[in-house]
Amino acid sequence: MKIADLKIEPAVFLAPMAGVSDYPYRQLIREMGVELLYTEMVSARGYEYGNKRTAELIEFEKNENGKIAVQIFGEEPDFMARAAAGISEEYQIDMIDINMGCPARKIVKNGAGSALMKDLDLAYEIIKSTVNATEVPVTVKMRSGWDEENINAVELAKIAEKAGAAAAAVHGRTRSQYYKGEADWEIIKKVVQSVNIPVIGNGDIFSAGDAKAMFEQTNCDGIMIGRAAQGYPWIFKEIIEYLETGRLIEPPSNSEKIEMAIRHLKLAVDYYGEQHGVPIMRKHISWYLKGLPNASEIKNKVNQLSEAKALIKLLRKHKNTLTS
């Protein structure tokens, strides 16, 4: 897959999920074979005002095999343009992605995220201003529409292409659906048929088979994985192997899931410090434990602990009960 002059293989991506796809987790995803990683969404206004959290969100390790895309959000073309220019220059990133799909109320109420699908003139101005402000490729992530009466991803994708966007990612749900119901892959297919820029399909890819089906049913150029990656970084390795060879690799054992949770915890504590890192990891550990014996009991204990050593001891003890 090529986004402008950026060649990306394999075309399998981790979705930019707030509170999930942070630097510690991206390190694990990189090891699973993902070449281009997206940051969590970064406030354009926050960056311009020097918010300290911005650097924490953007942090990454640059190497010859890895690329980074920073996703920004906002509702003002000037702020978006200045943020894109500043971030591109300061961090030497590979791509800027504009968030026009986030359904969260605190984002939408200010006119950003998926609210921009209700104002396509403003969406055009934001994309065009951002494209003109930076030399790196600019892409747009969107939903199928605002609600069932306003399915306009095709129209927004055409506008994005006209404004100079190098690619579009489409989540086949409306804003009103949030993450409920089924993703509409047909709208992704229609977007693919309507524009000449690459299209990334997103929504309801929970397995290697789903990934292949997304490519076959929509003819998209790439795929993006969101919730299925929570507590399960192995999904990328499984998908990439299956797409390249047709082989289904063995899923991780329960012991491997717990060891990955511990490794993830150590990365988070190293990066954020224990006071901040442990609370962040509680939800991740809960995801790693999903489906394991006595998971609910262990999750309750995890939520009561605030020291990394105690958490690791608890997880290792639980691992031993699974293997004994």
Q: Is 67 helix (H, G, I), strand (E, B) or coil?
A: strand
Residue 276 counted as an annotated binding residue: no
Token reading at 279: 């609370």
242-245 — which CB contacts under 8 Å span 24+ positions? 242/208, 242/209, 242/211, 242/212, 243/10, 243/12, 243/208, 243/211, 243/212, 243/215, 244/10
The DSSP output letter for 163 is H
Residue 162 counted as an annotated binding residue: no
Residue 222 counted as an annotated binding residue: no
Token reading at 230: 């929570």
Residue 264 counted as an annotated binding residue: no
DSSP track, 254-318: HHHHHHHHHHHHHHHHHHH-HHHHHHHHHHHHHHHHTTSTTHHHHHHHHTT---HHHHHHHHHHH
Residue 71 counted as an annotated binding residue: yes
The answer to whether 102 is a known catalytic residue is yes
Residue 26 counted as an annotated binding residue: no
Q: Catalytic residue among 14, 68, 102, 315, which? A: 102
Residue 16 counted as an annotated binding residue: yes
Residue 171 counted as an annotated binding residue: yes
CA-closest candidate to residue 289, choices 319, 310, 266, 313 = 319
Catalytic residues: 102
Q: Which residues belong to the annotated binding site?
A: 16-18, 71, 141, 171, 226-227
Q: Which residues belong to the annotated binding site for FMN?
A: 16-18, 71, 141, 171, 226-227
